[in-house]
Chains A and B, each alone.
Chain A
Amino acid sequence: MIELEGITKAFGRKQVLRGVNLSVGRGQSLVVIGGSGTGKSVLLKCILGLIQPDDGVIRLDGQDVREAPRDAFLARFGMLFQGGALFDSLPVWQNVAFRLLRGSLKRPRAEAREIALEKLRRVGLGEEVLDLYPAELSGGMQKRVSLARAIAADPEVIFFDEPTTGLDPIMAGVINQLIREIVTEMGATAITITHDMTSVRAIADQVAMLHDGRVQWAGSIAEMDTTSDPYVQQFIHGRAEGPIAALR
């Protein structure tokens, strides 16, 4: 469904991506792991067109994304941002129903509010948060609202950028479980970026490790534990010694 071929990206003199090749099949859940600053978030933003890659091709269902009509392309995606990225000036329900209140997916306000409530219930929140503002919610609740927003328009592809960062282990577990359930029941294709190995095991069908701007290793979750790749082994066991420099 999504194919990346030779993606490169530099910011000034810093070469972040050096030719990333990756593919994700329809309905698959791919988790991209790798140290901080290895370009994982940049990779997601390149796919969405938030950042233009310097070189390489990104295809969605075989079509070069640069040739796809922008609105129709974006309508197929949902994204959970690392910090939630909820709009401070809007109440929770309008955040969740943002896409349903404007543009090509616009619905009547009452219907959009109803859908927002349904999605909020799906992530374990109730009617009481509908009219609250994001600043009135805890970090875990904000992540849930952001997750509800990502799935509000039933996207075919969902991106999760560090979904458990800043959450306590129990809340992180809840979010991981929700992501897995939602991706499975919607049949969506998912790409998740994380450092958190608990998340990797909870969410992934496939794992790809990014290092030095390239895909260092890719395989299934079962293969990840048995691979002899020293980079993967160092990363999943959190060792200070190994081929990945601790100071980056």
Chain B
Amino acid sequence: MIAHALAALGRGALAALAGIGRIALYAGSGVAHLLRPPYYPREFLQALLQIGWLSLPVVGLTAVFTGAALALQIYAGSSRFSAESVVPSITAIGMVRELGPVLGGLMVAARVASSIAAEVGTMKVTEQIDALVTLSTHPMKYLTAPRLLAATLSVPILVGVGDIIGIMGGWMVGTGRLGFNSTTYLKNTWEYLEFWDVGSGLVKGAAFGFIIALMGCYYGMNSERGAQGVGRATKSAVVAASIAILAANYLLTEAFFSA
């Protein structure tokens, strides 16, 4: 009985490791194709539009509500120690170092990883990927590489925009609800914010962008047949991207913290 359970556990662990290995190899292949011509600038620009520009509303709304809620929570905590003056700076630091990149990344993962996986998965099951090959076009170069680059470049920009909107969300609550003076709030925000607070968030954004496109493309390319296969690929892409973002966030935070 125990031997069976251990064997099942071992099989599960091996399967998980094999999956991680396959994704790592796929990522390596994607980067290698990104570096070698031919390049597909049209596909890159299209991916930039889809992943970056069209995700702005989602990221913006997430940031403004998060910034506003964060300001209220920090006020609730800091008022216990009569330290309400830290609200602007802590809200800003919390947004740019942690909540901006993580929540922005998760929202983009939900929107983009799913759409990439569904699109590429549908292409797979309708033989469009095979058609690409017969038309002398490498699917990794045409589908994966432009999306990897577009997501790696656009998610940090989204995070940057989200940071500003999130801070403004905190400012709205701070000035409208908590009685802060507008100039003092903005001055405190600016004074206590360091370059690396913002920089570390943007680096996280780039890593999350890469993860999002990678998971979308990987699960799409490995989609099984039929509508159910594409549905499973889409779900797996979002789940894997979200977990990988949270894990990468911890690892990056640990690295930045130690540095």
Which residues of A are interface residues toward B (Cβ below 8 A)? 45, 48-50, 70-71, 74-75, 77-79, 81-83, 85-89, 98-99, 102-105, 149
Contacts and interface: CB of A to CB of B under 8 A. Distances in A.
Q: Which of B38, B122, B133, B134 has the most CB of A within 10 A?
A: B134
Interface residues of B, number: 16
Interface of B: 38, 40, 46, 119, 122-123, 126-128, 130-131, 133-137
A78 B136 CA distance: 10
Contacts of A75: 136
B134 A48 contact: yes
29 contacts: A45-B130, A48-B133, A48-B134, A49-B133, A50-B130, A74-B134, A75-B136, A77-B134, A78-B134, A79-B131, A79-B134, A81-B127, A82-B127, A83-B127, A85-B127, A86-B128, A86-B131, A87-B123, A87-B128, A87-B131, A88-B122, A89-B46, A89-B119, A98-B135, A98-B137, A99-B135, A103-B38, A104-B136, A105-B136
A149 B128 CA distance: 13
Contacts of A88: 122-123, 128
Contacts of B133: 48-50, 74
**Majority secondary structure, B binding face:** helix
Contact of A85 (B46, B131, B136): B131
Given A81-B127, A82-B127, A85-B127, A102 B137 contact: yes
Q: Which of B123, B127, B131 has the most CB of A within 10 A?
A: B131
A81 B131 contact: yes
A94 to B, nearest CB: 10
Contacts of A103: 38, 136-137
A49 B134 CA distance: 9
A71 B133 CA distance: 10
Given A82-B127, A83-B126, A83-B127, A50 B134 contact: yes
A85 B128 CA distance: 5
B40 to A, nearest CB: 7
